[in-house]
Chains A and B, each alone.
Chain A
Amino acid sequence: MIEPGFGEPDGAKVIGQWGDVRIEVAPRDAVTVVAALAIVAMFTREADADGPRGGLKHLDEALNGALLRLRSDGIFMASAGELLTLSAVAPPIRANDIIAVGLGDPDMFTPAILRRAVSHAAEEAIRLCAPSAAFAPSLLDSGIDRMLLPGVEEAMLGGLIDALAARATHGIALSCWIFCAGAEHLDAVAASFRDALLRFDRR
């Protein structure tokens, strides 16, 4: 049963429910979102020479440059589906742990890659028994062309549902999943997610 709602604390909008997991979209990034686990997507490089911006840059700065440093050292290459967990993070990051999930080469980006990345990250969130998790796609932050963005809400939702379906017979700790989005387009993003959830619910 899908129960959309509005006006949640922190500016978040409830998209609906899948099983026991409430799904929200919030005008936050991986630093400011209130969740036990914050997940950020990263490419092997940014699409433009200026490097990351927005929420991804904010997170990297909050980690003293750790994300970009580990990527440049080849410790975490951000290849598609690759996971890096940083545990016991300190303020200003509000989550307890951070996961970076790789999206591979930005020139090869497709929504299907994003779906698989979200699925991997959600499986890890479930494995870590996180009660809440937030996903920041960081596509615009990485310089991805807006023209490539149609379908990404459905892809992200699909990835989450894939992971939940794989664990359908097991009890999981996860009860809330948040997709991070920019404040300026929040209403439109929320509407896209709701439409996508309705389509999944009808299948």
Chain B
Amino acid sequence: MPDATRIRIMIVDDHPFLREGVRAVIETQPDLSVVAEAETGEEAITLYQGVQPDVVLMDLQLPGIGGLAAITAIRERSPRARIVVLTTYAGDAQALRALRAGAAGYLLKNSMRKELLDTIRSVHSGGKHLSAQVASDIAFHVIADALSERETEVLSLAAAGNSNKQIAARLSVTEETVKGHMKTIFAKLGASDRTHAVTIAAKRGIIEL
């Protein structure tokens, strides 16, 4: 198939072995070709402008600014950019953030080869393509930003090992206020204690550890 009619793909992942594997799968297809690879979000943003791939396969866990920020930046400059997230699953909240940032596809790295190829073609033709597991998890949980920004901040500080007193000092609020936030956080997440809340939030991608 002539190069001009192939779907041109950029792979963004900081694991060379993963990029090599995805490239090998793509290059078995006569209508697909890999035209660029990037290891960081910053590199992806720069390369996108120069190469203008048809579809980007983007991991979210990247050094530097991260995949989510890279998606946002690419879409700001190129609103018609078609980006598929290809990632290990870090929770419904993370998936929802990526989709709200403009990702047109969201696949897990343990997806089948056919699923990856189908997703590339669907997204290239203008559709959206999600793993059903991800879609169901998004819907199953209470809305991803069930925790307010402040609550997310409090829990992130708790996850970093700060006591309520230290959190209060960091956020310039009273310790009573922090305790109040914690109580709300436990209720929203269905957590029994601080550790449980951190675990649930990390699993769903609400906070990062």
Q: With A87-B118, A88-B115, A128-B118 given, is the CB distance from A66 to B138 under 8 Å?
A: yes
* Residues in A75-122 with C-beta less than 8 Å from chain B: 75-76, 82-90, 97-98
CB nearest to A128 among chain B residues? B118
Does A124 sit within 8 A of B, measured CB to CB?
Answer: yes
Bound state CA distance, A74 and B133, in angstroms? 19
In the complex, are the beta carbons of B122 and A124 less than 8 A apart? Answer: yes
Which residues of A are found within 8 Å of B131, using beta-carbon distances? 86-88
Which residues of B are found within 8 Å of A84, using beta-carbon distances? 127-130
A68 to chain B, nearest CB (A): 8
Does B94 sit within 8 A of A, measured CB to CB?
Answer: no
Which residues of B are found within 8 Å of A127, using beta-carbon distances? 121-122, 125
Does B140 sit within 8 A of A, measured CB to CB?
Answer: yes
Does B81 sit within 8 A of A, measured CB to CB?
Answer: no
Q: How does the 8 Å CB contact mask read for A165-199 relative to B, with 1 for contact and 0 for none?
A: 00000000000000000000000000000000000
B140 to chain A, nearest CB (A): 5
* Residues in B98-148 with C-beta less than 8 Å from chain A: 99-100, 107, 111-112, 115, 118-119, 121-122, 125-133, 135-140
Q: How does the 8 Å CB contact mask read for B157-201 relative to A, with 1 for contact and 0 for none?
A: 000000000000000000000000000000000000000000000
Bound state CA distance, A88 and B115, in angstroms? 8
CB nearest to B108 among chain A residues? A88
In the complex, are the beta carbons of A83 and B128 less than 8 A apart? Answer: yes
Which of B99, B112, B122 contacts A75 (CB under 8 A)? B99
In the complex, are the beta carbons of B139 and A65 less than 8 A apart? Answer: yes
In the complex, are the beta carbons of B118 and A73 less than 8 A apart? Answer: no
In the complex, are the beta carbons of A63 and B136 less than 8 A apart? Answer: yes
Number of interface residues of B (CB under 8 A): 26
In the complex, are the beta carbons of A83 and B135 less than 8 A apart? Answer: no
Which residues of B are found within 8 Å of A98, using beta-carbon distances? 132
Does B96 sit within 8 A of A, measured CB to CB?
Answer: yes
Bound state CA distance, A84 and B99, in angstroms? 12
In the complex, are the beta carbons of B138 and A69 less than 8 A apart? Answer: yes
Which of B112, B119, B132 contacts A63 (CB under 8 A)? B132
In the complex, are the beta carbons of A66 and B112 less than 8 A apart? Answer: no
Which residues of A are found within 8 Å of B130, using beta-carbon distances? 70, 84-87
In the complex, are the beta carbons of B139 and A76 less than 8 A apart? Answer: no
Which residues of A are found within 8 Å of B125, using beta-carbon distances? 83, 123-124, 127
Which residues of A are found within 8 Å of B112, using beta-carbon distances? 88
Which residues of A are found within 8 Å of B132, using beta-carbon distances? 63, 66, 86-90, 97-98
Which residues of A are found within 8 Å of B96, using beta-carbon distances? 73, 75
Scoring B107, B112, B121, B128 by chain A CB atoms within 10 A of each residue's CB, the highest score goes to: B128
Bound state CA distance, A70 and B107, in angstroms? 16
Bound state CA distance, A123 and B129, in angstroms? 15
A85-B129, A87-B130 provided; 12 other pairs, C-beta below 8 A? Answer: A70-B130, A73-B138, A75-B99, A85-B118, A86-B132, A87-B131, A88-B111, A88-B131, A88-B133, A89-B132, A124-B122, A128-B121
User: Which residues in B have some Cβ–Cβ distance to A below 8 Å?
Assistant: 96, 99-100, 107, 111-112, 115, 118-119, 121-122, 125-133, 135-140
Can you list 23 residue pairs at the A/B interface with Cβ under 8 Å? Answer: A64-B140, A65-B139, A69-B135, A69-B139, A70-B99, A70-B139, A73-B100, A73-B138, A83-B127, A83-B128, A84-B127, A84-B128, A85-B119, A86-B130, A86-B135, A87-B129, A87-B130, A87-B131, A88-B131, A88-B133, A89-B132, A128-B118, A128-B122
